[in-house]
Amino acid sequence: MNNIAITGISHDGMGVGRTEDGKVVFVAQALPGETVEIGTIRTHQKRRIADLEQVLDVHPERREPPCPLYGVCGGCALQHADKGLQAELKKRMVQDALERIGRLHVDVAPIMTMADPWRYRNKGIFHADYSSGITRLGFYAKGSHTLIPASECLLFSEQVNALAGWLENAITATGISHHIHNVMIRESKATADLMVVFMTATPDFKATSLLPALAHDWPQVRSVWHNVNTNTKLILGKTFHHLAGEPSIEDAIENNRYALSPQSFFQVNTAQTEVLYDAVKKMTPLQPSDTLLDLYCGIGTIGIHLANQVKTVIGVESITQAVKDAKRNATANGIQNATFIKDKAEKWLPQWTAKGNIAECAILDPPRKGCDETLLQTLIQTNIPTLTYVSCNPATLARDLKILTTGGCAIQRVQPVDMFPQTAHVETIVLLQRADT
Ligand code: SAH
């Protein structure tokens, strides 16, 4: 019998405890405060991991996971914790990362939760599996080749679940097995319009026979595309063919509307994106005379959300298509004080500041790998008084905050936002100001 006390939570939502010899062990689905019986310990990616055999001392906020695929899927690593406990655990994950990686001992505000934390995802890329003789659309369970059906996932709307089920039958009916590798479905939360993108490895789309039936049965599908992807390492290939309907669908954040093409980056939880951007707006002290830098701006959404608070917005983004989308989005929403530049933030900022330009505030919203150190050093040297860092990865956030605080920036507020309820992911906004201002 191997019983251990769970005392912590890992960055990916596993319970953490120690065996009698003092060594750390990670147990999926176990909660801090619980005593659990574990199975055989194995080493996986340098961690000692054990299965949960039985919970001996149950956390009062543990709940029966609503999803029948929980445990097989692995995507919703915290579904066994109720809403309040998820909030507490995610706050703790941020606090742990800041302390362990950044050696930063600061208060973390309670996480901003989502009112209805289900069916929030607006985009899914589903793998087409033909192994059982019929088409199934879904995603692979963590670390395995078990297909989790998209038609049953509780993070998508019922409409998306139904469309995935319909497409499985329609693709099977075409008789062209193995042609479509993946299907992307996008859903506008503002209009309930849908976009479907079929992905194949060959230039021709051979399943055209399903398109009339799709148009007939699914009038909500306003836009249909074919993506050619010969490089299996990429999610989307470079070549797109428009098959039917409109080229894009439109979603909204607050009063701003965004045209979404197949390749546009858009936060996956539309409702919480508004909460996130509003929190950025509230936390960041801005003046009507300010120049605001929106670094890693994507399709310009944060800058557009804040544009009426400042004199000028300059967005910087490395992907050409996203910059085009950002410009179009600003125009479509009547924003006249924003410009968008295609460049790497770490390359652009030193050049811009070398010309004597100054900004009162910079928003940083990098991908999971965090900011380039050159960018952080430039921010330190140029004395931009206010920095608002929006992060989807507490580990790289902690690493970068260490650099910024060492360089003279002081952390004013750490505000987690739950953009991905049920999963172990957590978004965090950090306000920093120069210690000398
Ligand atoms: N702020 C946006 C996008 C955040 S995602 C939003 O809220 O939707 C991060 C963005 O940074 C992506 O669009 C990615 O293409 C871009 N990016 C990645 N590396 C970059 C770099 N070095 N310089 C500028 N942009 C970069």
Ligand 1 pocket check for 317: Cβ under 6 Å:
yes
What integer pLDDT is reported at residue 339 of this predicted model? 98
Q: Is the pLDDT of residue 437 over 60?
A: no
Query: CA torsion, points 225, 230, 236, 237, in degrees to nearest 10?
Result: -70
3-state class (DSSP) for residue 73 = coil
Ligand 1 pocket check for 427: Cβ under 6 Å:
no
Query: How big is the CA angle at 303 (ends 299 and 306), to the nearest 5 degrees?
Result: 145
Mean pLDDT on 280-301: 98
Mutational pocket test of ligand 1: of 297, 301, 429, the residue with most ligand atoms within 8 Å of the beta carbon: 297
Q: From ligand 1's centre to the CA of 265, what distance in Å?
A: 9
Ligand 1 pocket check for 319: Cβ under 6 Å:
yes
**What predicted TM-score, i.e. pTM, was given to this entire model?**
0.95
Among candidate residues 73, 297, 392, 409, the one labeled active-site is 392
- Cβ pair 397, 428 in contact under 8 A: yes
Instruction: Report long-range pairs for 212-215 (Cβ below 8 Å, ≥24 apart).
Output: 213/170, 214/167, 214/170, 214/244, 215/244, 215/245
| Nearest CA among 359, 367, 223 for reference residue 291 | 359
Which ligand 1 atom sits nearest the alpha carbon of residue 322?
Answer: 13
Q: From ligand 1's centre to the CA of 297, what distance in Å?
A: 5
Cα–Cα distance list, 302 to 97, 362, 367 (Å): 25, 11, 15
Mean pLDDT on 350-360: 96
Phi, psi angle pair for 70, to nearest 5°: -55, 140
| Nearest CA among 183, 206, 209 for reference residue 194 | 183
Question: Where does the pLDDT of residue 373 fall: very low under 50, low under 70, confident under 90, or very high at 90 and above?
Answer: very high
Mean pLDDT on 148-152: 94
Instruction: Report long-range pairs for 88-92 (Cβ below 8 Å, ≥24 apart).
Output: 89/9, 89/13, 89/31, 89/32, 90/416, 90/418, 90/424, 90/426, 91/416, 92/8, 92/9, 92/32
Ligand 1 pocket check for 193: Cβ under 6 Å:
no
**Which range among 14-28, 48-62, 137-151, 175-189 shows the weakest confidence by mean pLDDT?**
137-151
Ligand 1 pocket check for 321: Cβ under 6 Å:
no
As a whole number of angstroms, the distance between CA 191 and CA 223 comes to: 13
Cα–Cα distance list, 400 to 38, 97, 98, 377, 430 (Å): 36, 12, 10, 10, 11
Neighbour count for residue 51 (Cβ, 10 Å): 15
Q: From ligand 1's centre to the CA of 191, what distance in Å?
A: 26
Q: Crossing angle of helices 83-100/394-406, nearest 10°?
A: 40
What integer pLDDT is reported at residue 358 of this predicted model? 95
Q: Is the pLDDT of residue 247 over 90?
A: yes
Beta pairing class for 239-245 and 249-253: unpaired
Q: Is the pLDDT of residue 96 over 90?
A: yes
186: left (phi over 0), alpha (psi -120 to 50) or beta: beta
Ligand 1 pocket check for 345: Cβ under 6 Å:
yes
3: left (phi over 0), alpha (psi -120 to 50) or beta: beta
Q: From ligand 1's centre to the CA of 363, what distance in Å?
A: 11
- Known active-site residue 392: yes
Mean pLDDT on 177-193: 96
Mean pLDDT on 143-169: 94
Phi, psi angle pair for 417, to nearest 5°: -130, 135
- Cβ pair 86, 62 in contact under 8 A: no
Q: From ligand 1's centre to the CA of 365, what distance in Å?
A: 7
